[in-house]
Amino acid sequence: MCGRYSLTTEQEALAVALGVEGLVHPTPRYNIAPTQQVPVLSWGDGSGRAGTLQAGVQRWGLVPSWAESPSSGAPLINARSETAHRKPSFREPFRRSRCLVPADGFFEWVSGAGGKVPFWIHRPDRAPFTFAGLSDAWRSPEGEVVESFTILTTEADDALRRIHHRMPVVIEERRRAEWLDPEASLEGLRAVLAGARSEGLVTTEVSTRVNSPANDDPDCVVPVEDSGPRGIVEQTSLF
């Protein structure tokens, strides 16, 4: 799964790297947690036309448009890529409102003798990438609108399976347009999802400071200093 992630790249550099204008990312984020408002990318220019990568801010934890209220159930922070296209909460978003979630790392935890040990999984140069996401808009009778999203996950490959059996789907730059294409077929979209790999990612053990969502600062991604059983820094080779 993916229960926390980071977006530490400065806004200007992130906009250039992703080829998008108007990115709403005023400060680096080192420990993004569910229900928080974060940037999401989609095709469109605000007039309904596709073909331009646009940024907006949405709540992490999808609220289906048909939900009774935004607090009527647990936040849907992840969706299984293998079945999302046929699940009631995700079926319509999969068909009509796919998105990209910018990040430059994500966290997973491994149980150790002293408790849960956190790992930050990122590119060696800390460059940003994008998760596959689904978004939806919930509207109240009074006109309140809550835009929200979920991150798609897939079965972990050999490089990450020792840490967790699931991993977020990272959409390579060359396949972003395919994922967002409003005319894409179900078979084509499933092929994009099935091609997700963790090649090129670095797995770094970090401070347990990241365990609390109240902490959101550079210390959350500082590697541990010791080289004993809890000191693991491993490279595998995402794009």
- Residues classed as catalytic: 2, 108
The two structure tokens encoding residue 174:
């060359």
Which residues have CB under 8 Å from 155's CB, separation 6+?
82, 165, 166, 167
- Of all helices (H) and strands (E), which one includes residue 200? none
Q: Which two tokens stand for residue 96?
A: 């009509």
Quick one: tokens of 166? 């699931």
Q: Which residues pair with 235 in a beta bridge?
A: 202
Amino acid of residue 150: T
Could you tell me the two tokens for 101? 């979630």
Tracing tokens 């939900």 back to the chain, one arrives at 67
**In 34-143, where does DSSP find H-type helix?**
91-96
Enumerate the H helices of 81-195 as residue ranges: 91-96, 176-180, 186-194
> What is the distance between the alpha carbons of residues 213 and 107, in angstroms, rounded to a whole number?
12
